Amino acid sequence: MSEKKRRAGASTDGPASSSKKPRPSAAASYAESLRSKLRPDASILVTLRSLASASSASSSKSKAAAKSLADHDPSADPASSYIVVADQDSASVTSRINRLVLAAARSILSGRGFSFAVPSRAASNQVYLPDLDRIVLVRRESARPFANVATARKATVTARVLSLVHAVLRRGIHVTKRDLFYTDVKLFGDQSQSDAVLDDVSCMLGCTRSSLHVVASEKGVVVGRLVFADDGDRIDCTRMGVGGKAIPPNIDRVSGIESDALFILLVEKDAAFMRLAEDRFYNRFPCIILTAKGQPDVATRLFLRRLKLELKLPVLALVDSDPYGLKILSVYMCGSKNMSYDSANLTTPDIKWLGVRPSDLDKYRVPEQCRLPMTDHDIKVGKELLEEDFVKQNQGWVKELETMLRTRQKAEIQALSSFGFQYLTEVYLPLKLQQQDWI
Amino acid sequence: MSEKKRRAGASTDGPASSSKKPRPSAAASYAESLRSKLRPDASILVTLRSLASASSASSSKSKAAAKSLADHDPSADPASSYIVVADQDSASVTSRINRLVLAAARSILSGRGFSFAVPSRAASNQVYLPDLDRIVLVRRESARPFANVATARKATVTARVLSLVHAVLRRGIHVTKRDLFYTDVKLFGDQSQSDAVLDDVSCMLGCTRSSLHVVASEKGVVVGRLVFADDGDRIDCTRMGVGGKAIPPNIDRVSGIESDALFILLVEKDAAFMRLAEDRFYNRFPCIILTAKGQPDVATRLFLRRLKLELKLPVLALVDSDPYGLKILSVYMCGSKNMSYDSANLTTPDIKWLGVRPSDLDKYRVPEQCRLPMTDHDIKVGKELLEEDFVKQNQGWVKELETMLRTRQKAEIQALSSFGFQYLTEVYLPLKLQQQDWI
């Protein structure tokens, strides 16, 4: 039975439908007509297979995955122009801390006191590099001497954080930023101070925050054609029911990633995730489905990056058609500004914008009442995005954003529910995949 | 090596520690001395086993689990005095909707138009019943006629929601409140309206919202000695790594619950959850550990209730020592006011307050700098809690809350990190369990 018939059938049970008959209208029947455009799944799978192998080929040609600062400008010494942190094992981080502290001790013994050279993480130091397609931090260090009224406190905090990180690494455990703060509330005063110094320490040691074993809390979940080990436990994500597997907070405990998926579907909201999980969309089109439930957290970004690097699969994104949806894509792709020094380890380049795109609203005839007017703030954010380099370099994105700003309309993924609760999984996404409709 | 030695060792690496030597002080060494009070795990397990069997015995004697409105006042007809909704299967909900709609149709055909009898969910109708230990809704229905300017719209919305729920049940799927809203934005206007009518429909049909297959988004995670099936997939929660298993949004897809745990540990925050999961606390003391990461969502509350009912295990709660922590406990135990009609299905009575309790701050000598002053708002909330019946009936709780209000101090679970990152799992919780220190 078609969805339309089902809904029509259901409506006849309710007297209220008489007052609303004119509504399930032109848009709804057009939406249904799209169903007939769908080719058999086998034919769509051929498309997806070629997409997956193309992605794998281009990845191995270093493009997305291996693009590094060294490729950026071979003439310059990258280490001296930009701060680049990398994942380091505990032994290496520990020895870096030891070296830093020994230098300080020697300096003290020679009667010169001590001082840390701390990279500046100010906004003016954060630049977008178009050929790397991410935000990086320009190297510009400032001294943080202990023997100076202005910096004595901060130098103390820095030393304390170094010592705490050292203790965590020695125990082989992971802690949260909040735990770190609570080990010395009197010194840190408030958490924003220990957090900021933790970022400083990352830059000073040249290693990622996850290498320091200080982890963010997790929000993300994953289901689909993926098997991995979380702290040694083998997780089969096709057998995680509707709830899915919570993405682990500590990426360094993730190993043994295997998959027969053809693509990764990155979803903004958990409502859409739930629909996809319940309909076991990944069994129809082999894929890995993940969501951070809104603003991406560090754990989910690290996890996505690992998947992309190891599996070399294309990443397709399903986000709301509003500036915020695009902003979320930008965080996955280019990083957030306040962690620009870690952008290489947190970002997943080359994510395709599958939907819901501003042009989809008319293309799929999303009813007028399911679109929302953009607020002044939305329009402001949209205009700012148009100025962002990462948007500018993709003409398709510029056009979509211009469409959004011209029509002043936005819509959530859920707006597709107006054609039936399963329209997303039964018509919209399959048709998108069939038509390779991503940019 | 003891935690104290480790930390002292770590400090000697850092020059800054010289400026802070006086601090890891009396409190820290007292905290360490508690470690020596710990008896062998085998002896603590004996305590826990007797707790578990006591809980199971008292449950089977109907106390916690089977306490129903019928027990409350056998002389009155409970159905007529309070709204009590229950889990219903899809067939039963569908036939209830059919009956309601047929009645409306007959009424229309007889020329009398139609009207719904909708239970009032106003605050004045929500009462706490001490012997049931939860908030319930007094039955008081009001008519919602279609042929009345004041109620025509709401009657239409009600009919529409009934028809949508009918469609969802027929398809055998689950949807979110947001999906429901988007099927008819023009009619509903904004989501608060469709949400409110959905609650009305629950009351009218006498069934829980999860029976309507309208689910909340999930936030909760679980690890530990628990095996269950999520939508047919067998989940072993001892093999869910550090990330844990996301609690499924649709409780009716959960089945086959098995466990050899001795208790359920309910944790307020995900930082503490992560510590417990990484240290595999459940392997040392067999338990099930779950958290809703803050304010409990419906999915986590339903899940906890199911565990408690089926496994008959004691539930011990680890929350922050502040009014908000106690408020969270109250939501798990007595329900939230705006879902009072569903309190029987959402609440888990008889949760023990393990910690962190206001008296623990002195008992465990939590350093002054890790305690926070209560804000005026905290004090206001705390005083309101003292007036709540569910607090009043537990003298231990009243005393603790009075202590909190007298000292005007609060503390997070993380404050225990000041004695070492693993103090929570290695000393605090084992000692609490050994001393049966819950109220």
**Of the candidates B162, B165, B163, B161, which has an alpha carbon nearest to the alpha carbon of residue B90?**
B165
pLDDT for res B14? 38
Residue among A101, A167, A175 minimizing CB distance to B7? A167
- pLDDT tops 60 at residue B380: yes
Report the pLDDT value the prediction gives residue A68, as an integer from 0 to 100: 53
The band of B60, judged by pLDDT with boundaries at 50, 70 and 90, is low
Q: Do A13 and B242 touch (CB under 8 A)?
A: no
Mean pLDDT, range B360-373, rounded to an integer:
89
Phi, psi of A25 (to 5 degrees): -35, -160
Stretch B330-352: mean pLDDT: 81
Q: Do A231 and B247 touch (CB under 8 A)?
A: no
- Bridge-partner residues for A115, per DSSP? A145
Cβ proximity of A365 and A428 under 8 Å: no
Span B258-278, mean pLDDT? Answer: 93
Contacts with A243 from chain B: Cβ below 8 Å? 218, 230, 245-249
Least trusted range by pLDDT, from A226-230, B67-71, B85-89, B164-168: B67-71
Which tops the pLDDT comparison, B208 or B68?
Answer: B208
Residue among A16, A167, A221 minimizing CB distance to B6: A167
Please write the tens of the pLDDT for every residue from A219-240. 899 999 999 999 999 999 999 9
Residues of chain A in contact with residue B2, where contact means CB-CB under 8 angstroms, are: none
Interface test with A, best of B99, B165, B178, B426 (most A CBs within 10 A): B178
Q: Residue positions of A in the annotated binding site for Mg(2+)?
A: 268, 320
3-state secondary structure of B204: helix
Cα distance between residue B372 and residue B410, in whole Å: 5
* CB < 8 Å to B417, chain A: 175, 179-180, 182-183
**CA pair distance B379, B409, nearest whole angstrom:** 10
Query: How far apart are the C-alpha atoms of B418 and B369, rounded to whole Å?
Result: 10
Q: Tell me how far apart the 2 most distant CA atoms of chain A are, in Å.
A: 91
Q: Which residues of A touch B232 (CB under 8 A)?
A: 241
For A28-51, how does the pLDDT look when each residue is reduced to its tens digit (9 = 90+)? 788 888 888 888 998 888 888 888
Q: Express each pLDDT in A282-336 by its tens digit.
A: 999 999 999 998 889 888 999 999 999 999 999 999 999 999 999 999 889 987 7
Checking if the pLDDT of B63 tops 60, the result is no
Give tens-digit pLDDT for B213-234: 988 777 899 999 999 999 999 9
- Residue B87 has what pLDDT? 83
For residue A412, report the phi and psi dihedrals to the nearest 5 degrees: -90, 165
Identify from A181, A278, A370 which residue to disrupt to test chain B contact, counting B C-beta atoms within 10 A and taking the largest count. A278
Nearest chain B CA: its distance from A167 CA (Å): 5
Q: Measure CA A289 to chain center.
A: 13
pLDDT at residue A52 is higher than 80: yes
User: Of B193, B3, B206, which Cα lies nearest the Cα of B118?
Assistant: B206
Instruction: Specify the higher pLDDT residue, B84 or A428.
Output: A428
pLDDT reading at B13 higher than 50: no
pLDDT score, position A410: 93
Closest residue in chain B to residue A146, using alpha carbons only = B16
The count of CB pairs under 8 A between chains A and B is 270
State whether A235 and B239 contact (CB < 8 Å).
yes
DSSP B395-420: HHHHHHHHHHHHHTEEB-GGGGGGG-
Which of B170, B174, B417 minimises the CB distance to A182?
Answer: B417
Inter-chain residue contact B418 with A230, CB threshold 8 Å: no
Nearest by CB to residue B242, choosing from A175, A239, A250, is: A250
Amino acid A61: pLDDT: 53
Task: Point out the residue among A240, A249, A422 whose CB comes nearest to the CB of B233.
Answer: A240
Q: Do B101 and A13 touch (CB under 8 A)?
A: yes
| Residue of chain B with shortest Cα separation from A7 | B167
In tens, the pLDDT along A132-155 reads 777 778 888 889 999 999 999 999
Question: What is the model's pLDDT at position B64?
Answer: 42
Does the active-site annotation cover B182?
yes
Percent above pLDDT 90 for chain A: 50
Distance from the first to the final alpha carbon of chain B: 34
Mean pLDDT for the stretch of residues B280-289: 95
* Residues in chain B closer than 8 A to A168 (CB atoms): 421
Cα–Cα distance, B335 to B339 (Å, whole number): 7
Looking at CA atoms only, how far is residue B185 from chain A in angstroms?
6
Report yes or no: B82 and B139 within 8 Å, Cβ to Cβ.
yes
CB contact under 8 A, B179 and A369: no
Q: What is the DSSP string of A2-64?
A: -HHHHHHHHHHH-GGGGGGTTSS-HHHHHHHHHHTTPPPHHHHHHHHHHHHHHHHHHHHTTST
Residues paired with A17 in a beta bridge? none
Q: Between B342 and A211, name the one with better pLDDT.
A: A211
pLDDT at A355 over 60: yes
Q: Is B320 annotated as a binding residue?
A: yes
Best of B278, B364, B422 to disrupt the A interface by mutation (most A CBs within 10 Å)? B278
Work out the number of other CB atoms within 10 angstroms of the CB of residue B127. Answer: 12
pLDDT value, residue B290: 96
If you average pLDDT over residues A247-266, what whole number do you get?
92
Better pLDDT: B316 or A250: B316
Contacts of B298 in chain A (CB under 8 A): none
Between B15, B20, B245, which is nearest A105 by CB? B15
Q: What is the mean pLDDT of chain B?
A: 85
User: Residue A15 is nearest to which of B10, B101, B250, comparing CB atoms?
Assistant: B101
Q: What domains sit in chain A, N to C, each tagged with a CATH number?
A: 3-11+27-61+216-434 (3.40.1360.10), 80-215 (1.10.10.10)
Distance CA B3, CA B36 (A): 12
pLDDT of residue B10: 38
Residues on chain A touching B238 (C-beta within 8 angstroms): 233
Q: Which one, of B298, B280, B415, lies nearest residue B355 by Cα?
A: B415
Name every chain A residue with its beta carbon within 8 A of the beta carbon of B416.
182
In chain B, what percentage of residues exceed pLDDT 70? 87
B174·A105 Cβ contact <8 A: no
Structure tokens at A354: 């599958």
- Where does A231-378 show beta strands of DSSP type E? 233-236, 245-246, 254-258, 263-267, 287-291, 315-318, 351-355, 372-373
> How confident is the model at residue A36, as a pLDDT?
87
Q: In terms of CA atoms, which chain A residue is nearest residue B152?
A: A16
Nearest CA in chain B to A188: B369
Task: Give the pairing type, strands A351-355 and A315-318.
Answer: parallel
Q: Average model confidence (pLDDT) for chain A?
A: 85
Nearest chain A Cα to B109, which residue? A15
Among residues B82, B182, B282, B341, the one annotated as catalytic is B182
Segment A63-95, tens digit of pLDDT = 444 455 555 544 444 456 887 778 889 999 999
The alpha carbon of residue A319 is apart from the nearest alpha carbon of chain B, in Å, by 15
Q: B119: part of which helix (H) or strand (E)?
A: strand B115-119
Residue B208 to residue B88: CA distance in whole angstroms: 7
pLDDT of B16 higher than 70: no
Residue with tokens 């004041």: B150
**Selected catalytic residue, list A30, A82, A128, A182:** A182
CA angle, B434 then A231 then B239, to 5°? 65
Sign of the C-alpha dihedral computed for residues A88, A92, A97 and A101 taken in this order: negative
Two tokens, residue A213 = 């074993």
Inter-chain contact B182–A418, Cβ cutoff 8 Å? yes
Q: Which of A351-365, A379-393, B128-142, B235-249 has the lowest mean pLDDT?
A: B128-142
Q: Is there a contact between A67 and A349 (Cβ–Cβ < 8 Å)? A: yes
Contact yes or no for B243 and A249 at CB 8 A: yes
What local confidence, expressed as pLDDT, does residue A182 receive? 82
CA-based nearest residue to B96, from B209, B208, B206:
B206
